[in-house]
Structure 1
Amino acid sequence: MSDQVRLVVIINTQPGKGSQQLAAFAQLAPQVRAEHGCLQYDLHPVVGNNDSFVLIEKWASNAALDAHHVAAHMVEAARHNRSFRAGPATVLQLEDAV
């Protein structure tokens, strides 16, 4: 069993505001990728829907993920995201492959 944490995060923006999500991610991603324990942090637009995205995250441990959630840049991002997101993201934590 791995200590790594894998997340799939489903993000929907308000109609026509997908470009704001892309811009926000472009600013945030380098900061997140520099965090201790961040192994992957990639945003993928959904084909055919400019307002839907899937974020793939991989963290070295739960402790690294916990630290990520309280990082100053994440707290600020959460405040800013409300201006263009359709609602809270759906976060799915994956189990190890069978």
Structure 2
Amino acid sequence: MTELSVFATIRPKPEHKSDALAAIEGILSATRAEPGCHRFELNVGVEDTGALYLVEHWADDAALDAHYDMDYIKRVFAAYEDWLAEPVEIVRMRRHA
């Protein structure tokens, strides 16, 4: 299998932006230590729209599935149910050339 790239856009409600940001910051080290994680990067927009962005590179689909199955990720996703203005937008990509 080939490497999988993910671009995630997270749009928290304004009153929960700091909660969402802290939650993601809290999983950075553990996620980066996962065997299939090649890159896991948190970004904020230059124009502060309130959105958070994750740029991720995984060894393959199985590595990303294993990531989503981690208890600490499940806790963040559960919190997102209250914190987010809309569902996380996830774009899965593979390098073309």
Provide the TM-score with structure 2 as the length reference. Answer: 0.88
Q: Give 1:71's aligned residue.
A: 70
**Alignment length (residue pairs):** 97
Any stretches of 5+ residues in structure 2 without a counterpart?
Answer: none
Q: Percent sequence identity over matched residues?
A: 26
8 Å CA contact retained: 2:41, 2:56: yes
Q: Greater helix percent: which structure?
A: 2
Give the deviation of 1:50 after TM superposition: 4.9
Distance in 2, matches of 1:39 and 1:75, equals 20
Q: Greater strand percent: which structure?
A: 1
Matched position secondary structure for 1:3? coil
8 Å CA contact retained: 2:2, 2:94: no
Any stretches of 5+ residues in structure 1 without a counterpart?
Answer: none
Matched position secondary structure for 1:51? coil
Provide the TM-score with structure 1 as the length reference. Answer: 0.87
Q: Give 1:54's aligned residue.
A: 53
Equivalences for residues 24-43 of structure 1 within 5 A: 24-43=23-42
Distance in 2, matches of 1:12 and 1:53, equals 6
